[in-house]
Structures are given as C-alpha cells and as structure tokens.
Amino acid sequence: MGRLTTHVLDTTSGKPAAAVAIRLFSLAEQRELISTATTNLDGRTDTALLDEASISAGTFELEFDIGDYFARQEVSLAEPAFLGTVIIRFSIRADENYHVPLLASPWAYSTYRGS
C-alpha cells in the first residue's frame, strides 16, 4: 500500500516554509475535505496526508495557503498578493507512494511527483 506526503520550500530564501496551512480534498463524487495539516519547521507535515490505511486511487487537490506564509515573511509584496492559495490537482494509485512538494516564491510555484 502507498501513502501521500508533501513539503513546502520557500525558493526566495532557499529554506523550508514553516506554518503553511494545507488542505487535501478528494474529487471522487464531490469535492470533499479529507485531511488538514500545517507544515513544521522543516516545511513538512508531521504525518502523511494519506497513510496505508486511508489511501485510495483517485483525483485529489492539495491547497496550500502560501500567501499567508509570505505575508508573515520579510518579503516586500504588492497588494494584493499575487499568490494566495496554490491548488495542485493530481491523480494517484493506492499501491504507490506519492510525494507532492510545493516550491514557491511570492510570484511563482512549481511541483513534481516524488516518491
């Protein structure tokens, strides 16, 4: 069985992004909130968003409140902030490990499929 994890990297400072609120939604029959977390000092969640007992195949969305994070940093931002909530939609199988990181600055972001 697999699991789903994430982490957030602040590419402006080159450091992990701590205290970023994260929400995981399942898009099965309707959009349903199934997990919430906040990144720790290492930019990671303390536990998997989906573990071996809760993972299932399907399409999901991760929401990261990256705008709130950058508002707390010593970064000069225009008002309104360019990025508020970053949403990443992806599909998974239940028998594999997935790591979906967010690399973000106040003006851009990227992700990739890790394992």
Rg, the chain, Cα only:
14
72-92 pLDDT tens trace: 987 766 777 789 999 999 999
CATH 2.60.40.180 applies to domain 4-110: yes
- Both tokens assigned to 27: 């898009």
Q: Identify whether the C-beta of residue 62 lies closer than 8 Å to the C-beta of residue 27.
A: no
Calculate the alpha carbon distances from 11 to 16, 33, 84, 88 in Å: 9, 28, 16, 17
Give the residue ranges of the chain where pLDDT is below 70.
76-77
Nearest to 94 by CA among 63, 62, 50: 50
Q: State yes or no: cis peptide before 101, omega within 30 of 0.
A: no
Using a cut of 0.85, tell me whether the model's pTM lies above it: yes
Domain residue ranges in the chain? 4-110
